[in-house]
Amino acid sequence: MSDSTPTTNRRLHAVVRGLVQGVGFRFTTFDEARRLGLAGWVRNRVDGTVEVLAEGAEAKLNLFLAYLRRGPRGARVAGVVEDWSDEQGAPLPFQVKRTE
């Protein structure tokens, strides 16, 4: 009999506000998502925010969200608007998308 607890996979959509463009935010986010084994993408938005869609184990997504709230050296995160839902099949491996 297995003693493991089932892993719940979720989807996190986040928009990060603050000084988050021109500081390597997308690429460090990409590295962090890949390290955690998450699916999804990150992109800059024309309004100066960074948008992230990530799917994976809820525990890993919570670690990822903690990173988004902090950002890389040089970033000044003013806030993160987050929306959680059920996993829907985001692209794997994690990607950096073009600004939209």
Q: How far apart are CA 94 and CA 64, in angstroms?
A: 13
Q: Over the stretch 53-81, which tens digit does the pLDDT of each residue have?
A: 999 999 999 999 999 999 999 999 999 99
Neighbours of 41 (CB within 10 A): 19
Point out the residues that are catalytic: 26, 44
Instruction: For residue 57, give the amino acid letter.
Output: A
Q: Which fold has domain 9-87?
A: Alpha-Beta Plaits (3.30.70)
Q: Is the separation of the CB atoms in 79 and 9 below 8 Å?
A: no
Which tens digit of pLDDT belongs to each residue from 15-52? Answer: 999 999 999 999 999 999 999 999 999 999 999 999 99
pLDDT of 1:
45
pTM summary value: 0.90
Cis previous bond, 6, omega within 30:
no
Q: Which residues contact 4 (CB under 8 A, 6 or more apart)?
A: none
Domain boundaries, the chain: 9-87
